[in-house]
Amino acid sequence: MKAMILAAGRGKRMAHLTNELPKPLLEVEGKSLIEHQVERLVQAGFKEIVINVSYMADKIVRAVGFGERWGIKICYSHEIPGGLETGGGVRQALPLLSDLFLVVNADVWTNYDLSNFFQLDMSKKLAHLILVDNPEHNLKGDYSIDKDALVLPEKNGEHYTFAGISCFQKSLFEPYAVGDYFSIPRAMEKSILKRQVTAELHHCEWQDIGTPSRLARVCNR
């Protein structure tokens, strides 16, 4: 299984911090967010990683390289200025990915064990999501699940927040054209209605580093 790190976003909510630096290169504990993410994937057993890039792409490529440091292979999917959103980014990168692949946002800080995805049975589903308890910036949550771990299309029940960590079959994205601009949640809508998307709730450390205050919270934890 290959892994993909989403790193093409502009990071506008980070204000001045991303004027001259892409958000994935902001540092925690003396190391960039994306380097932390690469190391977590390597520790989990991933050998090939795809990174999509757009905003200040050259800086990310120079900082991360092509995997030599970790004894793995890293390749890049270069997007148009402004990017293609999360789903569009995955669609463009499909030729570089395995039939089943992991996707993780560059800006999530978590101790979730990514090696769990190697034991996941995806034979009857198109996607599997990691959910977390709702943070203060997303109190309404994103998805709810039933006793069989299926993501529910209904708006009732307790909702949780999508952690930006997920596993997909290629076929989920193949109906879209290369260059289409769409999100991962949009790509899953029909599959959720068909009960082809599952999820698990993760209660341990997680933070979406989307603002300067959340970055400071992780740095000072």
Residue-wise pLDDT for 68-89, tens only, equals 999 999 999 999 999 999 999 9
3-class secondary-structure state, position 139: coil
Task: Name the pLDDT band for 2 (thresholds 50, 70, 90).
Answer: very high
Tell me what percent of the residues of the chain surpass a pLDDT of 90: 94
Which stretch of DSSP H or E encloses residue 140? none
Q: Is the pTM above the cut of 0.85?
A: yes
Q: Would you state the torsion angle of the CA atoms of residues 143, 149, 151, 155, taken in this order, to the nearest 10 degrees?
A: -60
Which helix (H) or strand (E) element contains residue 78? Answer: strand 73-78
Q: Which residues contact 186 (CB under 8 A, 6 or more apart)?
A: 87
Q: Give the pLDDT mean for 156-180.
A: 95
- Of 214, 219, 150, 159, the residue nearest 188 (C-alpha): 150
SS3 14: helix
DSSP classification of residue 160: B
pLDDT at 14: 94
Q: What is the residue-averaged pLDDT of the chain? A: 96
Does 156 have pLDDT greater than 80? no
Query: Quick one: pLDDT at residue 204?
Result: 77
Identify the CA nearest to 76 among candidates 67, 85, 68.
67
Residue 57: predicted pLDDT: 98
Residue 176: pLDDT band (50, 70, 90) is very high
Residue-wise pLDDT for 94-135, tens only, equals 999 999 999 999 999 999 999 999 999 999 999 999 999 999
Domain residues of the chain, as ranges?
2-219
Position 155 pLDDT exceeds 80: no
CATH for 2-219 is: 3.90.550.10
pLDDT in tens, 17-60: 999 999 999 999 999 999 999 999 999 999 999 999 999 999 99
Inter-residue contact 150 to 158 (CB < 8 Å): no
Phi and psi at 171, nearest 5°, equal -60, -20
